[in-house]
Amino acid sequence: MRQKRILLIEDEESIRDLLSYSLQKEGFVTKEAATGAQGLEILKQSKPDLILLDLMLPDMSGFDICKQVSLDSTIPVIMITAKSDTLDKVVGMELGADDYITKPFDIREVIARVRAIFRRIELIGDSMENLTFDMIRLGTGIVIYKDKREVWKNGMRIALTNKEYDLLLCFAEYQGRVFSRSELLDKVWGFDFAGDTRTVDIHVQRIRKKLDEAHSFSIIETVFGIGYKLATR
């Protein structure tokens, strides 16, 4: 099996060295960048399997990098921040980050979160291999191509982040089922995710914004007092 490649974008050399050394000990291949510009240049040259991204960089915001990565690729991003402000965490998740870690951190937690993301990716891949159908039509001009992890609406591809796609697919595979926010958090983000149910609300709002038809129809319905379900038409 090919070794997983991880790109570290972190301006503090001591933290960067610790992360690189510890990840390599666990069998990962690492590349390092001390600035956002260096990180984006490495990203162009070689596609990593995961990015560990510091929020506070000397030349640009980690938020801007996260937004660009989520728009251009499906590479998972774990944000590393010295801030414990909930708003920063929410903004990071809204821009497409898959997880976040707050400094100071235990390196064992970092390794565990990296492995958890790779496990979820492998589980999705395994389930896709066993599928007879790789396409789901939602009856609203929306088609999900599971083999390519793409969503199209009326012949146009819709750019979704990893988690937006996973959340929509969860609803699509269980059409009509009502999910609580906690259930969605476990299914899409994993039981070890440290965020709260507001993360689900934010991602549902983003999916609606990208897929809904000018206020006349919402692809995901709110079931008051419970959670959400895929709308039927």
Q: What is the pLDDT of residues 3-37, one digit of tens each?
A: 899 999 999 999 999 999 999 999 999 999 999 99
169 pLDDT band, cuts 50/70/90, is: very high
Decide: helix, strand or coil at residue 186: helix
Strand order in the sheet with 29-33: 29-33, 5-9, 50-54, 77-81, 99-102
Decide: helix, strand or coil at residue 218: coil
| Residues 210-224, mean pLDDT to the nearest whole number | 76
The answer on pLDDT for 153 being more than 60 is yes
Per-range mean pLDDT, top range of 37-46, 85-94, 186-195: 37-46
- Residue 124 and residue 170: Cα distance in Å, rounded? 11
- Residue 132 and residue 5: Cα distance in Å, rounded? 31
pLDDT at 214: 46
- Residue 126 and residue 176: Cα distance in Å, rounded? 25
What values do phi and psi take at 79, rounded to 5?
-90, 135
Lowest mean pLDDT among 42-46, 151-155, 224-228: 151-155
The structural domains of the chain, ordered by start, are 5-126 (3.40.50.2300), 131-230 (1.10.10.10)
Q: What is the tens place of the pLDDT at every residue in 72-100?
A: 777 889 988 876 666 666 666 667 788 88
Decide: helix, strand or coil at residue 137: strand
- Greater confidence, 123 or 40? 40
